[in-house]
Chains A and B, each alone.
Chain A
Amino acid sequence: EAGVAQSPRYKIIEKRQSVAFWCNPISGHATLYWYQQILGQGPKLLIQFQNNGVVDDSQLPKDRFSAERLKGVDSTLKIQPAKLEDSAVYLCASSLITGGFSSYEQYFGPGTRLTVT
């Protein structure tokens, strides 16, 4: 079974530029998560989708971050304009639709390491 795919793996941009990350979850997984992990910290949830609807985006800085999952499969996360403090690893994860113990399992992609200079 293919895992969660993310691209690019690495990205270096200057502040005030824009950047986009892509995630393809495991086939059949209805729930998709985007996390931000700053060096030395645990991941922080940015946004959670169930199918193509937003479940939780309470910690997404909406003035500069946006995310979409138009057809309930792939997702993109965009930052515009980027700031120095956005330097982090952006992780995508997916899980089965919520409900039941097995749905608590989240499968993580390899992450995208963003450096803003």
Chain B
Amino acid sequence: KNEVEQSPQNLTAQEGEFITINCSYSVGISALHWLQQHPGGGIVSLFMLSSGKKKHGRLIATINIQEKHSSLHITASHPRDSAVYICAVCRGATNKLIFGTGTLLAVQP
């Protein structure tokens, strides 16, 4: 079993829909990251959080430390949101990142 599990693995949505991607982890962490990766592109950090909730534009990230669970929400989704969304947890004295396998999101116009 992976230390970081994401669901769903693939997600297709219609433009304007509300999207939720989930991340569960089984280890103690110092922070959790949500990252975005476009095809052929590098990785962009969307959020880094250790508690509560953060919002940036149409993106919202929440984390429940007790339940070892985080969610990424996209409101009013748009085709340009199509990408792979990766959850990664930061742990250990060296701040090592452990990555989930990603969620491939396709938003259709």
By a beta-carbon cutoff of 8 Å, the part of chain A in contact with chain B is 31, 33, 40-45, 48, 55-56, 91, 93, 95, 98, 101, 103-111, 113
Contacts and interface: CB of A to CB of B under 8 A. Distances in A.
A58 B90 CA distance: 17
A105 B43 contact: no
Contact of B94 (A44, A56, A109, A110): A56
Interface stretch (B11-19, B44-52, B57-65, B66-74): B44-52
Given A42-B99, A42-B102, A56-B94, A106 B31 contact: no
A91 B43 contact: yes
Contact of A101 (B42, B43, B50, B93): B50
Interface string B25-38: 00000110101000
A95 B95 contact: yes
Given A42-B86, A42-B88, A42-B100, A103 B45 contact: no
Nearest to B90: A104
Contacts of A109: 42
A104 B93 contact: no
A41 B6 CA distance: 12
Contacts of A107: 45
Contacts, number: 59
A110 B86 CA distance: 16
A42 B94 contact: no
Contact of A40 (B88, B95, B101): B101
Contacts of A98: 93-95
Contacts of B100: 42
Given A105-B45, A105-B48, 18 more contacts: A42-B4, A42-B88, A42-B102, A48-B96, A91-B42, A93-B43, A98-B95, A101-B30, A103-B95, A104-B30, A104-B95, A106-B33, A106-B45, A107-B45, A108-B35, A108-B42, A108-B43, A109-B42
B104 to A, nearest CB: 9
A45 B44 CA distance: 17
B97 interface: yes
B40 A113 contact: yes
